[in-house]
Chains A and B, each alone.
Chain A
Amino acid sequence: MMFEYAPAPESRAIVDIRSSYGLFIDGKFVDGENLDKTVNPATEEVLAEVTWAGTQDVDRAVRAARKAYDKVWGPMPGRDRAKYLYRIARLVQERSRELAVLESLDNGKPIRESRDVDLPLVAAHFFYYAGWADKLPYAGFGADPQPLGVAAQVIPWNFPLLMLAWKVAPALAAGNTVVLKPAETTPLTALLFAEICQQADLPAGVVNIVTGAGDTGRALVEHPGVDKVAFTGSTGVGKAIARSVAGTRKKVTLELGGKAANIVYDDAPIDQAVEGIVNGIFFNQGHVCCAGSRLLVQENVAEQVLDALKRRMALLRVGDPLDKNTDVGAINSAAQLARIRELSDAGAAEGAQRWSPPCELPERGFWFAPTIFTGVTQAHRVAREEIFGPVLSVLTFRTPAEAVEKANNTPYGLSAGIWTDKGSRILWTADRLRAGVVWANTFNKFDPTSPFGGYKESGYGREGGRHGLEGYLNV
C-alpha cells in the first residue's frame, strides 16, 4: 500500500533568481545580445532569461582565461590556489540549500537528491582537489608536472553543478584556467557558482562561464586558444569533438553515454537487489550516463525479481521536485521527454512488454512514469540505445558466461552492476566486464576520490581521484 503523506515542500524563498543573466567573463557579469529562457521543467514556468554566447563572447572568455593563466593563476603557488579552492568548497557548503533548491527548480530533480547527493558531492569535490593543488609533484606524474593552459569545458544538464565541480575543481587545482559552458536547459546553478567565485575573491578570468547551446559549445571547443577540452554528454557529440580536435595540440577527455548492465545472479539478496535496480535506473529520472538501464537477471529468479521490482515501483512517488517526499522528479526538457517517448514506443512496437505502475502525473511540466520493458532481446532498440530516462529493459541469462557476454554486447562501457552473495563470483564477473565503474551489491555511488569514466565509446580519461588530475597536466 502507498502511505499517505502530507505535502512537504522545500521553500524556494531561499533562492533569489534574477530576471536576466549575462555571461561571466573576466570576473564580471557582462550583458550579451541573444537571450533565451530557462524554464522549470516541473511547471514550464520561466525562471529567468539567460544569454546565449556567440563566437565573439566565447573569444573574449578564452582571452580572459588566457590572461588569467599567464598573469595570475599559472604563476600562483599551489598552496594559494589550494586556499581559493578550499574557500569555494566552504562557500558551496554554506550556500548548499540555496544551490540545491535552485538545482531542483532548473533541472527537475527531487530536492532529496539535489540536497543529499549533488550538493554534498560538489563541496567534497572542491575540498578533495583543493588538497592536490600544492601536492602535484607527489601525484605520480613526475617531479614537476605542468598545467595545460586554458581548459574548455562543456557539461550536461543531468547533474549541472556536480558536473561543473568535476570539471572546474581538478582543472584549477592543476593550475589551469577555465571557460565552462553549462547546458542550455540548466544554466542557473553555474551562474550562481559564478557569484560564489566572486565571493571567494577568485582572481578575475580564472573561471569564465558562457551560457548557450550547441553552437556556443562548438565555438568554445574549436577555439584555437584552448589547450584542453573536457566534455560530458552524448557519444554523438563526443565523436564530433574528437574529430574537431584532430591534428591540434588540444588534450581531450570525454565522458559520454552508457547502457549499463545490472546483473542479478540467482543467489543475490533479492530485496537489496531490487533497491539497487530502482536506484540504478530511477535515480535522477534515469538521466544518468551510468544508469543501470539493462537489467540482466538470472532466468530462475527472474519472476521473483520482477514481482518484487513491480511492487517496489508502485511505491515510487513521482511529482513535485521540491517536495521532500518525492522519489522521481520531472524530465528535464520537452526535447528529452520526446526522445524517451520515441524510444519507449519503439520498444513496444518491436515486441517488448511495457509496464508502469499506476501513477498520476502532474498536468503541466514534463513527466514520464517509471517504466520497465520485459521480453527484451539484445536486438531491440531499448536494449541498445541510451534512453536517458526512467526506462528499464529486462533481459535474462542462464550462466555467468552468458551474463558477461550480454553485458559487454554494447559499444558503451561506462558502468555495470553485479548482485550476488558469492565473493569469488563478484570478482570473476568484475574482471570480465568492460566498464570503467563496477558496482557490486550497490549502484550509483560516487566519490571525489574514486575515478569515473568509460571504456570503448563511453569516452576516455577519468574524472575523480588522482587519475582525474592527469587530464589537466602535460603528462
Chain B
Amino acid sequence: MSERVAVRKTYKLFIGGKFPRSESGRSYLVQDSNVSLASRKDARDAVVAARAAVKGWAGATAYNRGQILYRVAEMLEGRRDQFVGLGIPADEVDTAIDRWVWYAGWADKLPQVYGGANPVAGPYFNLSTPEPTGVVAVVAPESPALLGLVSVVAPAIVTGSTVVVAASPSAPLAAVTLAEVLATSDLPGGVVNLLTGRITETVPTLAAHLDVNAIDLAGVVDTDLAADLEGRAAENLKRVLRPLPADHDWAGDPGLARMTALLETKTVWHPKGV
C-alpha cells in the first residue's frame, strides 16, 4: 500500500475576504512554500477593500465587534496545532489566543474609559466619544510572527478601524494561516487585509495613499525607511505610530496605547433647556 500523498496548501494574499494571488503573478519561497509577492497594485486594491469595509465595521455595535474578536480566539484555539506545525512556539500561540480574548473585551469598554461627559461651564450637554480613525496601514513585526501580528491587528480593528497589514516577510506562513482563521470567524471581508512580500515594495504605497488614515510602523526596523514612511504619511496627515524598539516585549501587558492612538475623539454639544 502506498503512502498517502499530502495535499499541500497554497499561500495567497487576503483581500476583501477573499484569497487572491498577487495581480503581479509573482511569488517567493518560504519554508518550501510559494508565497505571494504582493505588488503596489495589490496594496492599492487592499486599501479599496479596507475602505469599503469601514462603514459596516465601524457601524457595528461594540458588542458585535467584541463577539467577533472572541470568535477569532475560538477559531485560533482550534487551529493551535497548525501554528505549532509552522514552527510557532506553543506558548506564543497561547499568548496570541489570549490576546484576542483580551482585546475582544475592550470593544464595549474603551469608550467608557477613554470618553465621557465633560462638565462645561454652561447649560450644555457635552459628551466626548472615541471613534475609529478609518483605514489603518500596519507593518507587522518581523517576529514574533504570530503574536506580533495579532498584537498590531487586534487593537486596530477592535475599535472599528479596518487594516491593511504587511506581514513579516520572513514568516508569512503564520500570517496567511491567521487570515484563514479570520475568514472563518464572522469577521466581515475587508476588515483585515493581508499583504505578503517585501515591505519596501508595498508599504511606501500605503504610507502615501490618500485614503489611508493612519499607519503603524511597528515592524519597520530600518530607521531611514521609517523616517521616509513617516514623511510620506504627512501628505494627508496620517496618524503615525512610530517603530518600537527591537527588544519590545510582545508578550507583556499591551496597555491601551495601540488602541487609543487609532482613535478620534468626537465631542458633541447640545444646549439644555425646556
Given contact pairs A445-B122, A449-B118, A436 touches B264 in the complex (Cβ within 8 A): yes
Known contacts A124-B121, A243-B234, A467-B128, A441 near B271 by CB under 8 Å: yes
A22 to B269, CA, bound (A): 42
The reply to whether the CB of A465 lies closer than 8 angstroms to some CB of chain B is yes
Q: Answer whether residue A302 sits at the interface, using C-beta atoms and an 8 A cutoff.
A: no
Chain A residues in 8 Å Cβ range of B270: 426, 440-442
Contacts known (A441-B270, A451-B128); A467 close to B237, Cβ less than 8 A: no
Minimum CB distance partner of A254 in chain B = B237
Mark each residue of chain B from 228 to 257: 1 if its CB lies under 8 Å from any CB of chain A, else 0.
101101111101000000000000000101
How far in angstroms is the closest Cβ of chain B from A416?
Answer: 10
State whether A439 and B269 are in contact (beta carbons under 8 Å apart), knowing that A445-B124, A449-B119, A475-B257 are contacts in the complex: yes
Contact-residue size bin, chain B (C-beta under 8 Å from the other chain)? 35 or more
Q: Is A455 an interface residue (CB 8 A)?
A: yes
- Chain B residues contacting A235 (CB-CB under 8 Å) are 237
Q: Which residues of A contact B257 (CB under 8 A)?
A: 475
- Give the chain A neighbours of B128 by CB distance below 8 A: 450-451, 465, 467
Q: How many residues of A contact B (CB 8 A)?
A: 45
A243 to B237, Cβ gap below 8 A? Answer: no
Contacts of B223 on A, CB cut-off 8 Å? 247
Contacts of B33 in A (CB 8 A): none
Q: Which residues of chain A have C-beta atoms less than 8 A from B230's C-beta?
A: 242, 245-247
**Which of A110-118, A152-160, A456-464 forms contacts with chain B?**
A456-464
**List of B residues within 8 angstroms of A460 by Cβ:** 237, 239
Between B118, B230, B236, the greatest number of chain A beta carbons within 10 A of the residue's beta carbon is seen for B118
- Is B1's beta carbon under 8 Å from chain A? no
The answer for the CA separation of A441 and B270 in the assembled complex, in Å, is 6
CA distance A449 to B119 in the complex (A): 6
A434, A447, A462: which has the most chain B beta carbons within 10 Å?
A: A447
Cα distance A460–B227 in the bound complex, in angstroms = 19
B209 vs chain A, min Cβ distance (A):
14
Which residues of B are found within 8 Å of A447, using beta-carbon distances? 118, 120-122, 126
Is B268's CB under 8 angstroms from A438's CB?
yes
Q: Tell me, in angstroms, the Cα distance from A413 to B236 when the chains sit together.
A: 12
Q: Is A430 positioned at the interface, with any CB of B under 8 Å from its CB? A: yes
Which A residues touch B118, using CB under 8 A? Answer: 447, 449-451, 465
Q: Which residues of A contact B239 (CB under 8 A)?
A: 460
Assess the A459–B119 pair: CB atoms within 8 A. Answer: no
Among B113, B122, B266, contact of A436 (Cβ-Cβ < 8 Å): B266
Complex: how many Å from CA A467 to CA B230?
24
CB closest chain-B residue, reference A242: B234
Q: Using a CB-CB cutoff of 8 Å, which residues 405-450 of chain A contact chain B? A: 411, 413, 426, 430, 433-442, 445, 447, 449-450
Query: Are A247 and B227 in contact, CB atoms less than 8 angstroms apart?
Result: yes
Please, how many angstroms separate the alpha-carbon atoms of A433 and B129 in the complex?
Answer: 13
Residue of A411, A430, A462 touching B236 (CB-CB under 8 A): A411
Residues of chain A contacted by B233 (CB below 8 angstroms)? 242, 246
A453-B265 contact, Cβ under 8 Å, with A140-B113, A246-B231:
yes
B267 touches A451 (CB 8 A): yes
> Chain B binding site: helix, strand, loop or mixed by DSSP?
mixed
Contacts of A457 in B (CB 8 A): 236-237
**At the interface, yes or no: B226 with Cβ under 8 Å from chain A?**
yes
Residues of the A chain whose Cβ atoms lie less than 8 Å from the Cβ of B231: 243, 246-247
Q: Which listed residue, B121, B133, B236, B266, touches A438 by the CB 8 Å rule?
A: B266
Residues in A with CB closer than 8 Å to B266 are 430, 433, 435-438, 455
* Closest A residue, CB atoms, query B225: A247
Query: Which B residue sits closest to A462, measured CB to CB?
Result: B265
- For B129-151 the 0/1 string (1 means CB < 8 A from A) is 00001000000000000000000
Closest chain A residue to B257 by CB distance? A475
- Considering the complex, give the chain B residue whose CB is closest to the CB of A238: B237
For the complex formed, measure the closest distance between the CB of B136 and the CB atoms of chain A, giving whole angstroms: 13
Q: Would you call A456 and B265 a contact (CB within 8 A)?
A: no
Query: Which of A245, A450, A457, A465 has its CB near the most chain B CB atoms (within 10 A)?
Result: A450
Q: Given the interface contacts A445-B124, A456-B213, does A437 sit within 8 Å of B269 by beta carbon? A: yes
Find the B residue at minimum CB distance from A436.
B266
B267 touches A452 (CB 8 A): yes
Chain B, 204-224, contact with A by CB distance < 8 Å: what is the 0/1 string?
A: 000000000100000000011
Distance in angstroms between the alpha carbons of A430 and B128 in the assembled complex: 12
B67-93, CB < 8 A from A: none
- Assuming the contacts A247-B226, A449-B120, A455-B264, asked whether A442 and B269 have C-beta atoms less than 8 A apart, the reply is yes
B96-134 CB contacts (< 8 Å) to partner A: 113-114, 118-122, 124, 126, 128, 133
How far in angstroms is the closest Cβ of chain B from A228? 14
A418 to B: closest C-beta gap in Å: 9
Cβ contact within 8 Å between A436 and B271? no
Q: Please, which residue of chain B has its CB at the minimum distance from the CB of A475?
A: B257
Interface residue A85 (Cβ < 8 Å from any Cβ of B): no
How far does the Cβ of A200 sit from chain B's closest Cβ, in whole Å? Answer: 23
How many Å lie between the Cα of A457 and that of B210 in the bound state? 10
Give chain A residues whose Cβ lies under 8 Å from the Cβ of B260. 470
Q: How far is the CA of A462 from the CA of B239 in the complex (A)?
A: 13
What are 14 A-B pairs with beta-carbon distances under 8 A?
A124-B121, A140-B114, A242-B233, A242-B237, A247-B228, A426-B270, A436-B264, A445-B124, A447-B126, A450-B120, A456-B213, A462-B265, A467-B128, A475-B257
Interface residues of B (CB under 8 A from A): 113-114, 118-122, 124, 126, 128, 133, 213, 223-224, 226-228, 230-231, 233-237, 239, 255, 257, 260, 264-271
Which 4 A-B pairs have CB atoms at the shortest separation, nearest pair first? A247-B227, A242-B234, A246-B230, A447-B120
Binding site for B on A (CB under 8 A): 124, 140, 142, 235, 238-240, 242-243, 245-247, 254, 256, 411, 413, 426, 430, 433-442, 445, 447, 449-453, 455-457, 459-460, 462, 465, 467, 470, 475
